[in-house]
Structure 1
């Protein structure tokens, strides 16, 4: 009897494979073969799982690859797995559902909010057959975009449809960054990126080390995800603000909308984002456990993108693989405060991001191309509840005071108060712009920003800027522009939850994402949405 000989294929991962910036595909393949000591015949296929770069030596920038490959060279592979820490079996990053909805589902889970957290909570629940009802206080993304542009171009503000409220959440009008430092042993981040690609994101977000999308691409992706959720049996309702959560005997029973309509459910996901101040107040008054948490306050700073590119990449500035350069800076000040850069937007714009009338808030945004003339980031000072003592909502009161004062400093027209860095450091008002033209619309009103933040924050930023200039030459250039105020770096409160992802004292209420204090960015919020959706599904299944 003759037996067929089966070919054993090994799925391997190589990490930290370093090549020159301008290498060829042939050189990449050769490096793989050399690393594993195999021949071309033994290499079945390979793909790039991750590509980063090391620009510490500007004249010799290296690309760093993580490669997944298939090979059939058994002896050398087993030897590599035993002796080389950069070679391992490829982990399984595919997503696995925790279960399916029961056939006799009594009530549908409710998701409040359609930011990254709410969208992914709704999507995962829909994919498992739970037919979620997703409630959004703002408008669908294209209508919301028109309202947002209304503020930026005409100074017309809509309290329910703006940068903070509406389909897609605050992340829609941002740089669209899709990277995070959270621990992710179950590879939920891969699930998020895969769904984004299905919805129309560039495939490169699956392998570049710092993927981003940009606003215009995010708009169409959000629409595609909405269509997918609806096709799977979910329901999305816009202009449906939740004004009350119904609670009996410490158990959620449903929600009441601003229209007066009541929707019953024993499972409510709270994914409202960090600016739903009226919702936070309602929950606190209903007795849901809420506590104050640290956040940060500061300004936006703008430089010519070309200065940042040259400083970070030297003669390689403008290389297509490197793109527009970013930075990450931090300084611990003599007054005990920490100052750091936040939400850096290469080739982007500073945007008006208020969600309340008579307030000015700044944020940063980039398109996919990142080809605007300025770089911008927040330069912020960390603060804690010790700086705003009182009840758990005291941080919101501080935000409001700073934003209302910024509105006055800006002239009361939604223009933002601004000051040249040279003037800010010299402690004199700005009266004229220099090399850097502001990107913020509806406009910038030059003034003295020394009253825009508490004294300790002004003092800390004045100390930090010259220090940052030593790391990035030109950072404290006199013509760089500060625009105020940045107050929405993260939620000022945390709605604490237990190991089942439910509120500490309200069963069936699932605080999630940035607004609840459990995420900080698009990817981490989306990942938290997946975790909470799984917790909801598990609880419903276990109650059968």
Structure 2
């Protein structure tokens, strides 16, 4: 099979035009084209008057060798890569060794558990929160009634923080083994739209993620895995040998139960602040890492569609327009858009009482009135929170608490019209853009809820973004604060074997440990960790052939 890349056609092309373009590229007759499938589809909207679809196509032809030889100078015609996943090993028949424990049922923990179950190791998956449907009810309790459950919310519970997001399924990670394809394939098996396998920027949305997470849990359980919800890990039992070597040998839950363990995957997500404190107290090596803080910005989606797609705005095959922006400021800071949600809503994302944090969420349809995105400023430990591995958490908490106070101490979020923010005056009335945040907003001055350097950088960057996307700096656009949970402020260093550098048997994983950023990269890291755990369980130091 051959793969053709960079095959471009107008967005309104007839179906038969794709086959004709394939034949022209390969210089073959209709009789020589056996079949083809779309491997990937993106769009190129740099010229708004001539938006094109850009395809990657897998093609079966008669007499493939001479066709490939004839196209040897065309770098966009090559043999189709093998993207199938192969298990590096399987549990030995009748395996009765230690059961691996996965702490956290977000994307990373979900895939670590799934892969371990598929390899025959019958994992135990612990999560401090609830099953996804009960968790959804608790989350709506905050959004509708200002009632926060600290153990069941946007951050904690089955599915992790990604369940209440845009459900983006792409990343910038290097993926030579095509592990991302394994993730997407498992999602489709669990009920995701098949289009996620071909779209250049696939997404799912919250409602579909809920049913998918349930389906994948059922698969893990059918393979011998076990889920335990309401099971927060509060302590570690670490053995120290005569030479000072440390090995994890057990977990203590908040219920008082202790679990003697084999390898433990620690996939707790970026908001498990109490868990990070416990790891630090128990001597597990941690280090502060960079993250970003800022606000959410909202515009009518129609404004963004027109700015990005011109006269093609509203075309059903283009969907809601997205954007990605970045600006290097005079004060040395970088401001960038983060987790852009076309046709979505801004949501309350705190997990701690007395604090306000925001995030963005979309459904699969992306048909809500507004587009929203984080507008955040990069910060780093050496410059902004030196001296302690948990200092970034203290910084997050400080500004989240300030936002809670300014918002009215009822989980309403502080908000401001963009024109007022740029002018340095509090907002008293809204304009044409209605904020989507629930339980509600309180108009104020967001400069009271952010560091001065963040405010200065954002004011410069938002004007620059208006030059890049006409209307982006419209005075009626709404800013809602604060956006602090962009990524984990902590990294748990791990060695080449993917275990903690100073605590054997502990496998830091995913976004919370500092090794992922989003659903897909977290899930891929979960696969890698599961493979490492499997090698540990069977006493192997190298990848073996699958059984």
Normalising to structure 2: TM-score of the pair? 0.97
The one of 416, 420, 440 aligned to 2:437 = 440
Kindly state the Cα deviation for residue 45 of structure 1 after the two structures are TM-superposed.
Answer: 1.1
Correspondence 1:248 to 2:245:
no
1:43 equivalent to 2:33? Answer: yes
Deviation at 1:528, TM superposition (A): 0.3
> How far apart in 2 are the matches of 1:86 and 1:322?
24
Matched with 1:491 is 488
Q: Does 1:401 align with 2:393?
A: no
SS at match of 2:6: strand
Q: How is 1:29-68 mapped onto 2 (pairs within 5 angstroms)? A: 29-68=19-58
Query: Could you list the per-position Cα deviations for residues 324-365 of structure 1 after superposition, in whole angstroms to 9, with x for gaps in the alignment?
Result: 001000000000000000000000000000000000000000
Tell me how far apart the structure 2 counterparts of residues 394 and 268 of structure 1 sit (CA, whole Å): 26
Aligned positions of 1:169-180 closer than 5 A? 169-180=160-171
2:306 is aligned with 1:316: no
Kept in 2: contact 1:192–1:526 (CA 8 A) = yes
Counterparts in 2 of 1:543 and 1:33: CA distance versus 1, 3 Å: closer
Q: CA deviation at 1:75?
A: 5.4
Determine the C-alpha separation between the residues in 2 that align with 1:496 and 1:74. Answer: 48
Residue 24 (structure 1) aligns with:
14
Aligned counterpart, 1:4: none
Aligned pair partner of 1:100 in 90, 112, 120: 90
Give the alignment of 1:518-529 within 5 angstroms.
518-529=515-526
CA distance in 2, matches of 1:317, 1:106: 58
1:330 is matched with 326
Residue 80 of structure 1 deviates from its aligned partner by 3.6
Q: Which whole-Å CA distance do the structure 2 matches of 1:474 and 1:488 have between them?
A: 27
Is this contact kept in 2: 1:37–1:76, CA < 8 A? no
Q: Distance in 1 between matches of 2:107 and 2:64?
A: 43
Alignment of 1:476-515 (within 5 A): 476-515=473-512
How far 1:540 sits from its partner (Å)? 1.2
Flag the 1:445–1:370 CA change in 2: closer, same or farther, 3 A.
same
Verify the 8 A CA contact 1:351 1:440 in the aligned structure 2. Answer: yes
1:387 to 2:373 alignment: no
User: Using the alignment, how far apart are the partners of 2:21 and 2:71 within structure 1?
Assistant: 17
SS of residue in 1 equivalent to 2:310: helix
The more displaced of 241-250 and 286-295 is 241-250
Report how far residue 78 of structure 1 moved.
Answer: 3.1
CA distance in 2, matches of 1:531, 1:166: 22
Does residue 182 of structure 1 match 2:164? Answer: no
Query: Shift in Å at residue 413 of structure 1?
Result: 0.4
Alignment partner, residue 369 of structure 2: 373
Partner of residue 140, structure 1: 131
Q: CA RMSD in A?
A: 1.0
Counterpart CA distance in 2 for 1:246 and 1:59 is: 64
Q: Deviations over 1:284-335 (max 9, x none)?
A: 1111110000000000000010000000000100111110001000000000
Moved over 3 A (4+): none
Match of 1:122 among 89, 113, 118: 113
TM-score under structure 1 length normalisation: 0.97
CA distance in 1, matches of 2:210, 2:64: 48
User: Runs of 5+ in structure 1 lacking a partner?
Assistant: 1-10
Check if 1:345 corresponds to 2:346. Answer: no
Q: Secondary structure at the match of 2:538?
A: helix
- Which residue is 2:350 aligned to? 354
- Structure 2: unaligned runs, 5 residues or longer: 241-245, 542-547
Local SS of the residue matching 2:515: coil
Asked if residue 364 in structure 1 is aligned to residue 360 in structure 2, the reply is yes
Decide whether the 8 Å contact of 1:300 with 1:378 is kept in 2: yes
- 8 A contact 1:269–1:510 mirrored in 2: yes
Residues of 2 paired with 1:106 and 1:537: CA distance? 11
Structure 1 residue 539: Cα displacement: 1.4
Picking from 227, 235, 241, the partner of 1:236 is 227
Q: What is the deviation of 1:106?
A: 2.1
Please tell me whether the aligned partners of residues 36 and 76 of structure 1 are also in contact (alpha carbons under 8 angstroms).
no
Q: Contact between 1:38 and 1:73, CA under 8 Å: does it hold in 2?
A: no
Q: Is the 8 A contact 1:38 1:76 kept in 2?
A: no
Contact 1:175 1:365 in 2 (8 A): yes
What's the CA shift string for 1:88-141, capped at 9, x where partnerless?
111111110011113343210000000000000000000000000000000000
Give deviations 1:52-76, integer Å, cap 9, x for gaps. 0100000100100000111123454
CA distance in 1, matches of 2:277, 2:71: 55
| Distance of 1:287 and 1:43 partners within structure 2 | 63
SS at structure 2 position matched to 1:85: coil
- 1:166 corresponds in structure 2 to 157
Name the SS for the 1:424 alignment partner. helix
Answer whether contact 2:419 2:476 (CA < 8 A) is retained.
yes
Which residue number corresponds to residue 7 of structure 1? none
Distance in 2, Cα, partners of 1:41 & 1:296: 56
The residue that corresponds to 1:453 in the other structure is 450
Counterpart for residue 301 of structure 1 = 297
Aligned to 1:6: none
SS of 1:408's partner is helix
| SS in structure 2 at match of 1:64 | strand
